[in-house]
Structure 1
Amino acid sequence: MPQIDPEAVFNHACATGYDKQWAEMAALRDAIHLLIRGIFLDLPKQARILSVGAGTGAEMLYLAQQFPDFRFVAVEPSSHMLQVCQSKAQEAGVLDRCEFHVGYLESYLNTEPFDAATSLLVSQFLLDRDIRTDYFRQIAQRLRPGGILVSSDLASDTDAVDYERLLQIWMRTLQSARIPEEATHKMRDTYKNDVAVLPPAEVATTIAAAGFHQPTCFYQAGLIHAWHAVRS
């Protein structure tokens, strides 16, 4: 279901500098990770976790350290990002509990069900709503009944009177985190044309339509929202 070329967008230079570029925004990431840890507390001791759009592996490596018996599958379409993820897993001493798949979810053919899945800042890049719903449906199909989904995306009602002010605050936050001003200006155009920034309620409806029960927004900071849902 590619709508962007991941090898071009997340190339070697991007992948090797990705963590450093976003280091000063880590507080937002860490807060989501802390909440995910709480959500995953009741999973089986040797739970299988699917990380879709794993990137450089931030949430997977955090969870691997918090839950020493969990096993992980990282699915990531950029080979460059996944190479960084794999190197970090080796450095963290968790490589033996991780499997790495370069590609999209539909090309991962192992049918063993997962206990939970994470999808952080991924589905927002799927502009077609039917394709976005199908993306979540593919995750649901790989979860056991009652399996948990945690998903985050940029979300907002772009027609709301306060959206422009919220966007300004978000851009200023990025600039304060040493993201170049020129880059934040480009992000404005990206949010309009290449990112499906939808109202949070619509994102929840999309997740529910894919086979999940009662998606619940458990986190919001700036434009980032995160949902917890259970496979129906």
Structure 2
Amino acid sequence: MQDRPSNFTDPATVASYASDTPRKVPGLADLHRMAALLLAEQAPAAAHVLAVGAGGGLELLSLATAQPDWRFTGVDPSPAMLALAHQAVASFAERVELVTGLVDQVTAGPFDGATCLLTLHFLDRGERLRTLREIHRRLKPGARLVVAHHAPPGENAERWMARSVAFGAGARPDRASTAAAGTLMTQRLPLLTPREEEALLRDAGFVDVELFYAAFSFRGWVGSRA
């Protein structure tokens, strides 16, 4: 997910998600490839991977294509977005389980790795920490978590959010409109700074937390369960 959660009940937003998201998130296909590589460094050949915020199915499709021996459990609170995920991974249906709800509704696992992409920026600090702890609790020792979402530098948050909006707008974006959109997103999303994001991952129990992806307002980290 990338837009506000309430938008994922809007038929137009849901219908355009698969085409809009790669346009809005710089290097999305490569982000998925990097996630697969980082997970594979620690995961067994027949890994079982948890995908939190899996609505739309884009990362599941990429990971399932790259790793034909992996199994996946994806969870998302939006039935409409999970319907998209069902369509996206139809050819891998025997390896993908999709669950409607939050991470709490997922089996205790334990899983060999996890992803949470374009999701955590919707959650306030308390809910974000709780979600990360629930993911951590479901991982095997040494298993990795890959996260990526909006996390602009605190002192220039609006400017970086506006740049991300402009990137998604395509050629010759209107600067006034993108600046206004960046300001609105900064006000509406419970954004944390990169330093705060890393501290939250460590508070949730993850170790070896490292930045691996940065693109305008987006950041991505990898960490491991001790």
State the match for 1:20 in structure 2.
19
Distance in 2 separating the partners of 1:140 and 1:44: 18
Tell whether the 8 Å contact from 1:75 to 1:101 is kept in structure 2 after alignment.
yes
Tell whether the 8 Å contact from 1:24 to 1:178 is kept in structure 2 after alignment.
no
The residue identity in structure 1 corresponding to 2:185 is T
Distance in 1 separating the partners of 2:58 and 2:30: 12
State the match for 1:107 in structure 2.
105
User: What secondary structure is seen at the aligned counterpart in 2 of 1:10?
Assistant: helix
Tell whether the 8 Å contact from 2:151 to 2:217 is kept in structure 1 after alignment.
yes
The residue identity in structure 1 corresponding to 2:112 is D
State the match for 1:146 in structure 2.
142
**TM-score w.r.t. structure 2 length?**
0.88
**Structure 1 gaps, min length 5:** none
Higher deviation after alignment, 216-225 or 12-21: 12-21
State the match for 1:78 in structure 2.
78
The residue identity in structure 2 corresponding to 1:62 is S
Query: Which residue among 169, 172, 177 is the counterpart of 1:175?
Result: 169
User: What secondary structure is seen at the aligned counterpart in 2 of 1:54?
Assistant: coil
Deviations 1:136-158 (A, max 9, x none): 00000010111110001211233
Superposition deviation, residue 208 in structure 1: 0.7
Distance in 1 separating the partners of 2:25 and 2:215: 12
Tell whether the 8 Å contact from 1:151 to 1:226 is kept in structure 2 after alignment.
yes
Deviations 1:88-127 (A, max 9, x none): 111xx1010000101111122x222100000012111112
Superposition deviation, residue 32 in structure 1: 0.9
Q: Does 1:209 align with 2:203?
A: yes
State the match for 1:189 in structure 2.
184
State the match for 1:219 in structure 2.
213
Q: Does 1:124 align with 2:121?
A: yes
Tell whether the 8 Å contact from 2:24 to 2:164 is kept in structure 1 after alignment.
no
Distance in 1 separating the partners of 2:59 and 2:23: 16
- Give the length in aligned residue pairs: 221
The residue identity in structure 2 corresponding to 1:34 is R
Distance in 1 separating the partners of 2:52 and 2:173: 25
Distance in 2 separating the partners of 1:213 and 1:103: 27
**TM-score w.r.t. structure 1 length?**
0.86
State the match for 1:45 in structure 2.
45
Q: How does 1:84-99 map to 2 (within 5 A)?
A: 84-90=84-90, 93-99=91-97
**Structure 2 gaps, min length 5:** none
Distance in 2 separating the partners of 1:140 and 1:46: 20
State the match for 2:62 in structure 1.
62
